[in-house]
Amino acid sequence: MLTITVPATSANLGPGFDSIGIALDMQLTLQVVRPSDHWEIKHPFGDEVPTDERNLIIKTALGLEPTLQPQQLQMASKIPLARGLGSSSTAIVAGLVLANELSGNKRSLTDLLQVATQLEGHPDNVAPALLGGLVVATVVDQQVRAVKLPLPNLFASVYVPNEELLTSASREALPTELSYQQAIAGSSVANTLVAALASQDWAVALPLLERDQFHEQYRAKLVPALATVRQMAHELGLAGTYLSGAGPTVITLGDYGQLMALQQQLKQNPALTGQLHLLPVDATGVKVQKV
């Protein structure tokens, strides 16, 4: 049996808009049960998610390898839909790896990243899903350039609101342009953040996660939990709270013990009715197992 496991991802780390992402230890698992005369995928998401060729995993696989033998698939996932934890990116990665394995065309992770980025539109979610860990990536001349930074010795306090926030709606909240001065300020913070992440200087990196100039201030009204969680973290002396992806999930990076204390406080806030997770970083990215 072929089993493919893909980690959740958190993108847009602070000012690393569309370019910095991290893989988290929350998984999508896809199993190939047996060949069939038609494509079918069983999953836990109800009628709103297709079970045939319209399903994103199968659609992605057939987009890469149109002549694949149909399969019966079983998918399990703890990654919530439309919450800013890379649910669509994990499905795209699972589909590409599925096609790669079933076809026997052993494309490299670099090749798969190129295709995944074309499908997703930007690399900050798909890169850590494929590579694991903390990844900085961009697209230059239609080629993806990705750099995997040293594995951070950090955990993630993850607050997932009960309400969905579609990426399309979150994108609509963004301005169509920024002033030259604001763009320079945002770029300066982002550059320094990357340097701090690469050198694992958390005293510099964690506060800079909260100094985005590109998207958080425009999306804040859509995600009231961001200000609440950040303020409660500050009261405990913790920096490093940011909006994960397009939201509405809010993440605080830091020490395990400190984040445990933060979560105890968050649980007592009646305004925060969503789910809490305390997750390590996923170091390896997509995994393939054959039994």
Give the pLDDT confidence score for residue 167 in this predicted structure.
78
80 known member of a binding site: yes
Q: Are residues 129 and 193 in the same domain?
A: no
Q: Tell me 80's DSSP state.
A: P
Q: Are residues 275 and 286 in the same domain?
A: no
Q: Are residues 143 and 165 in the same domain?
A: no
The token pair that represents 113 in the structure block:
């990243």
* Per-chain mean pLDDT for the chain: 96
157 known member of a binding site: no
Q: Are residues 131 and 173 in the same domain?
A: no
13 known member of a binding site: no
84 known member of a binding site: yes
Q: Give tens-digit pLDDT for 159-200.
A: 999 988 877 888 899 999 999 999 999 999 999 999 999 999
Beta bridge partner(s), residue 27? 7
Q: Are residues 167 and 191 in the same domain?
A: yes
Q: Would you tell me how many other CB atoms lie within 10 Å of the CB of residue 81?
A: 14
Q: Are residues 237 and 143 in the same domain?
A: no
Q: Are residues 171 and 199 in the same domain?
A: yes
Report residue 142 CA to chain centroid gap: 22
Q: Give tens-digit pLDDT for 63-95.
A: 999 999 999 999 999 999 989 999 999 999 999
Q: Are residues 116 and 126 in the same domain?
A: yes
Q: What is the CATH number of the domain that holds 44?
A: 3.30.230.10
Q: Give tens-digit pLDDT for 6-18.
A: 999 999 999 999 9
Range(s) of the domain holding residue 84: 2-150+282-290
Q: What is the mean pLDDT of residues 253-264?
A: 98
Give the pLDDT confidence score for residue 51 in this predicted structure.
95
Q: Where are the beta strands (DSSP E) in 141-265?
A: 143-149, 155-160, 241-243, 250-254
The token pair that represents 289 in the structure block:
């197992």
Q: Are residues 133 and 109 in the same domain?
A: yes
In terms of pLDDT, which residue wins out, 167 or 149? 149
Report the chain's C-alpha Rg in angstroms. Answer: 19
Q: Are residues 54 and 143 in the same domain?
A: yes
Q: What is the CATH number of the domain that holds 185?
A: 3.30.70.890
Give the pLDDT confidence score for residue 105 in this predicted structure.
85
**Model confidence at 1, in pLDDT bands (50, 70, 90)?**
confident
Give the pLDDT confidence score for residue 291 in this predicted structure.
81
Q: Give tens-digit pLDDT for 199-234.
A: 999 999 999 999 999 999 999 999 999 999 999 999
87 known member of a binding site: yes
Distance CA 126, CA 8 (A): 10
187 known member of a binding site: no
Question: Which amino acid would we find at residue 29?
Answer: T
**Model confidence at 106, in pLDDT bands (50, 70, 90)?**
confident
Q: Are residues 113 and 164 in the same domain?
A: no
User: Looking at the 3D structure of the chain, how many domains does it have?
Assistant: 2
90 known member of a binding site: yes
Q: Give tens-digit pLDDT for 29-45.
A: 999 999 999 999 999 99
108 known member of a binding site: no
Q: Are residues 37 and 133 in the same domain?
A: yes
